Structure 1
Amino acid sequence: MPSPDAAVNSGAEAFIYYRVPAARAQQAREAACRMHEALRAADHQLVIRLLRRGDTAASADETWMETYSRPGGVDAALLARIESLAEAWADCRSGARHTEIFEACAW
């Protein structure tokens, strides 16, 4: 079985999901966008998306997802930088961030 670092380096994409209280959504969005701008400035090939689950009640916590991809895949250093920057706005989230790595299996 390949090591986790080998999997991360082989063209994989990162999907990071977490919960945001509805009352903090605007603040979280602004903080996430600032973080994404900093990441893109450091790596112009990095493609980032910020998604929100569409079936959440207006008063409930929202489920958000960040996606990261780039030619050659994400690596452990990028994932560490993402998490380091995300700490700055941890108070905008409820609970932990969860990271999953996927590789394309068909085109």
Structure 2
Amino acid sequence: MRRLFIYYRIASADAAAAQPVARAMQDALCARHPGLQAELWRRPQEKDGMQTWMEIYMHAEGVGPVLEGEIAAAAQVLAAWLQGPRHCEVFVPCAW
């Protein structure tokens, strides 16, 4: 089961404007892909007037490359607030 963890920085002053846009983007993705779960997190501390945000995406069937591309395309709505690039990390469960 492949999960995505995407992190980026937002100016603290922009957080109130960017948050509903990020949530709406995630809600729209979940509506188009039944079973997709999305979360929006941030680090509790701020540094130099910036917040680090993380989007988390998971699905019982995994988040494949096609859906990953759709998530990246949908995230363009956040471009005005990004302070640098979005970093995408992919994780899978450990084999026991």
TM interval, short-chain normalised: over 0.9
Counterpart amino acid of residue 10 in structure 2: V
SS of residue in 2 equivalent to 1:92: coil
Distance 1:28 1:44 in 2: 25
Q: Given the two structures, how large is their TM-score scaled by the length of structure 2? A: 0.92
- Asked if the contact 1:28–1:93 (Cα under 8 Å) also holds between the matched residues in 2, the reply is no
- Asked if the contact 2:8–2:52 (Cα under 8 Å) also holds between the matched residues in 1, the reply is yes
Gaps of 5+ in 1: 1-10
Q: Which residue of 2 aligns with 1:16?
A: 6
Counterpart amino acid of residue 65 in structure 1: M
2:18 aligns with one of 13, 20, 28: 28
SS of residue in 2 equivalent to 1:39: helix
Identity of aligned residues (%): 38
| RMSD of aligned alpha carbons | 1.5
- Asked if the contact 2:6–2:87 (Cα under 8 Å) also holds between the matched residues in 1, the reply is yes
Distance 1:78 1:28 in 2: 22
1:65 aligns with one of 27, 50, 54: 54
Counterpart amino acid of residue 49 in structure 2: A
Counterpart amino acid of residue 104 in structure 1: P
Q: Which has the larger radius of gyration?
A: 1
- Structure 1 stretches of at least 4 aligned residues deviating more than 4 Å after TM superposition: none
Counterpart amino acid of residue 17 in structure 1: Y
Counterpart amino acid of residue 66 in structure 1: E
Q: Which residue of 1 aligns with 2:89?
A: 100
Aligned length: 96
Gaps of 5+ in 2: none
Q: Which residue of 2 aligns with 1:50?
A: 40
